[in-house]
Structure 1
Amino acid sequence: MSVYKEENQKSILFLFFTIFILQMDVGFSQNQVTGQVFRAKDSIPIYNASVYFDGTSLGVTTNEEGYFKISFEKNNSPLIISIIGYEPIIIHSQTIQTNKILPNIYLPEKLEELNTVYIETDTWSRLKKIKMFKREFLGRGKAARLCRIINEDSIKLRYISSSKTLIATSNVPLIVENKYLGYLLEYNLRDFQVKFKMNNNVSSIPISINYHGFVFFKRLENNSSIKISRNRKKSYLGSTLHFMRALYSKNLDENDFKIYYQWVEVPAYKYFKITDFENKKHIKPLVNKLVIRYKVYNQSVMVLKDEFTIDYSGHHAPPESIILNGEMSKKRISELLPLGYNLQ
């Protein structure tokens, strides 16, 4: 082989390798979004702000210049930017998909809540309120017993006697250690209300629970045990996440879900009009209430208030389009899994 021919082949190989690397870099950058975070009052960059996709373990923090870069996929999960002392910013998935470089993000300071003057006296003790809050927020059973809210002192609670309502707020994310599923959760509580009815004026029975927030998952150490994997699988099967993934892939029957309308079993997709929409499924309910049965005894009622979309991970949006009662609604924070969970 001549020296010229050998050098020519090396040049061609180097050029091919360079183009390949550039293509990889371009492809990788297309799956990233970047931005810069500032204080709203004086435009000073915010260092160490949390940037994460809601309901996932995918997150980063801002550097000294307030800059961040985070990988993303085309899904429904909004991007949350938050730090203690500032109001969080929510950037919806549609914005991220059309803007790889986000406009400058300004976080307003969180105003200190003034002591509200209540006409009614709060008749419940702090001990009773925190007990009720943890029962309805974390759930009940073994999973809840293996959860601990590390900073529960940050939770502000009030019981309003006239409406029999317990409300809860927190100015900082709740840190929940979940040893049952092997996760540490940062839960940004946006709203929490429980309405009760009195049982013979002795005990309080919850009749409606509404809570909303943003959550970021971190793995606990020693979380890969067989026991934790089994717990995750148990929490997943029959859950809302499981159902939404099955509806997205149109394999409800294969996943042991049955659909009932007016207590009569119907074909699985009879009352769902499903169309493709930007790598998601657009769901138009044709009735306002369905019963969902998983296997034999696991039964839930799904109230369908509006149309919604589901992405490949099983995340549906907007969340308020659906109200759940029954077994699915009983799986509270203690059995919440990240959207990236894969059944093994």
Structure 2
Amino acid sequence: MFTNYANHFIWILLLFTTITSAQELEGFILDEKTKEPLFGVSVYFDGTTNGTSTNGEGKFSIRYKASTKSALVVSYLGYETQLFDVRKLTNGMSIYLKEKPQSLETVYLENDPWSRKKKMDIFKREFIGKSVDFSECRIMNQKDITVTYNPITQKLNAYAEKPIIIKNKYLGYTITYTMEEFEADLRLTTTGIVLTRSVYVEGSSFYTERNKRVRRKHRKAREREYGQSVLYFMRSLSKKQLRENGFQIFHKGFIVPPYKYFQITKIGEDTKVKLTADRLVVVYDRIHKSFMTILDKNKEFVINKYGNYSPPRKVSFGGVLGDKRIANTLPLDYDL
């Protein structure tokens, strides 16, 4: 990772909400034009294991705990995905889905010079990740993914009209991922090696357990991945619990007090952070090394009360945290 073209990985995390007590939400999903009910619409809390689908009358019912923290996603093939703040929804309401317009593939001035296999290999490397063997984390419907490469901009883009189904044997989940955007900014060396400058992925995900009981190997893997996650780091930073949670901060090769280069200000339930150094090294559990930079002249970002940060494109991680991909990602209700 510590090269001139180190991978920087940003996973968009949506703004989350919380509920004061356990509740059940019921509603109806209808076609915006015909007003007819839609059967089999997926309704789930983004990034969690909590979801359901509509019946023949377009009705859904979903229970959620007081600790549920994510946006409610309504997703249906051929229709635009919608996300909601559950606090603004009322029982019995109707949600109208709009059909997606037929899109034309982007036409470039130059022909795409790469084979589908080459493009898919790069896509899988940057979407699934390199730390887990592809046999342990597989995309089950690769044929539904369109991958394009623009030789002028050296950007690789991917599109999927259907949700991407990922079988993650490493963590013991099946993930349904609705991908809104994927862009890898690449660089070709004179020797033909493809390096990755940055990756941007946006979408929503739903997790289901692959086994009735969580296996020991999966439990251990999940604990390990959560400790090494950006989400855990951001939660620890916002609560000023870096040292307690096993993080050390280094600047120019020397260990420093954890908040020496972080200006932390509470703004209601959010936390405003200003980085006063160009780059910091973050070490977790005395072994796992990452680095952090802010791609903004003000070097500021905001962490909400659930550990999500914005603007996501401006906060860049390298090393262990920068290498994390979907194969390493846990549902957001994992530690609740």
Task: State the partner residue of 1:22.
Answer: none
Of 110-119 and 332-341, more deviation after overlay is shown by 110-119
Q: Is the 8 A contact 2:248 2:286 kept in 1?
A: no
Selected match of 1:286 from 274, 289, 293? 274
Task: State the partner residue of 2:304.
Answer: 310
Q: Is the 8 A contact 2:26 2:61 kept in 1?
A: yes
The residue correspondences of 1:296-307 to structure 2 (distance < 5 A) are 296-304=286-294, 306-307=300-301
Count of residues in Structure 1 that have an aligned counterpart in Structure 2: 309
Q: Is the 8 A contact 2:301 2:309 kept in 1?
A: no
Name stretches of at least 5 consecutive residues in structure 2 with no aligned partner: 1-19
Q: Is the 8 A contact 2:132 2:327 kept in 1?
A: no
Task: State the partner residue of 2:7.
Answer: none
Q: Is the 8 A contact 1:76 1:317 kept in 2?
A: no
Of 198-207 and 110-119, more deviation after overlay is shown by 110-119
- C-alpha deviation, 1:323, in angstroms: 3.1
Letter matched to residue 271 of structure 2: I
SS in 2 for 1:243: helix
Task: State the partner residue of 2:264.
Answer: 273
Structure 1 position 132 matched with structure 2 position 126 = no
Structure 1 position 234 matched with structure 2 position 224 = yes
Measured on the aligned residues, the alpha-carbon RMSD in Å equals 2.6
Q: Deviations over 1:259-285 (max 9, x none)?
A: 3456654433452424374xxx41111
Query: How many percent of aligned residue pairs carry the same amino acid?
Result: 33
CA distance in 2, matches of 1:229, 1:334: 15
SS in 2 for 1:142: coil
Name stretches of at least 5 consecutive residues in structure 1 with no aligned partner: 1-26
- C-alpha deviation, 1:103, in angstroms: 4.6
CA distance 1:102–1:76, change in 2 (3 Å): farther
TM-score normalised per structure 2: 0.82
Structure 1 position 68 matched with structure 2 position 56 = no
Of 100-109 and 206-215, more deviation after overlay is shown by 100-109
Bigger Rg, which one: 1
- C-alpha deviation, 1:135, in angstroms: 0.6
4+ residue segments displaced more than 6 Å: none
- C-alpha deviation, 1:124, in angstroms: 0.4
SS in 2 for 1:293: strand
Q: Is the 8 A contact 2:274 2:301 kept in 1?
A: no
CA distance 1:137–1:34, change in 2 (3 Å): same
Task: State the partner residue of 2:209.
Answer: 219
Selected match of 1:339 from 309, 332, 335? 332
Q: Deviations over 1:133-158 (max 9, x none)?
A: 10111001335441110000000011
Letter matched to residue 83 of structure 2: I
Q: Deviations over 1:189-243 (max 9, x none)?
A: 1111112212224211111111111110001026622111122122222211221
Q: Is the 8 A contact 2:47 2:331 kept in 1?
A: yes
Higher RCO structure, 1 or 2 (CA under 8 Å, sep 6+): 2
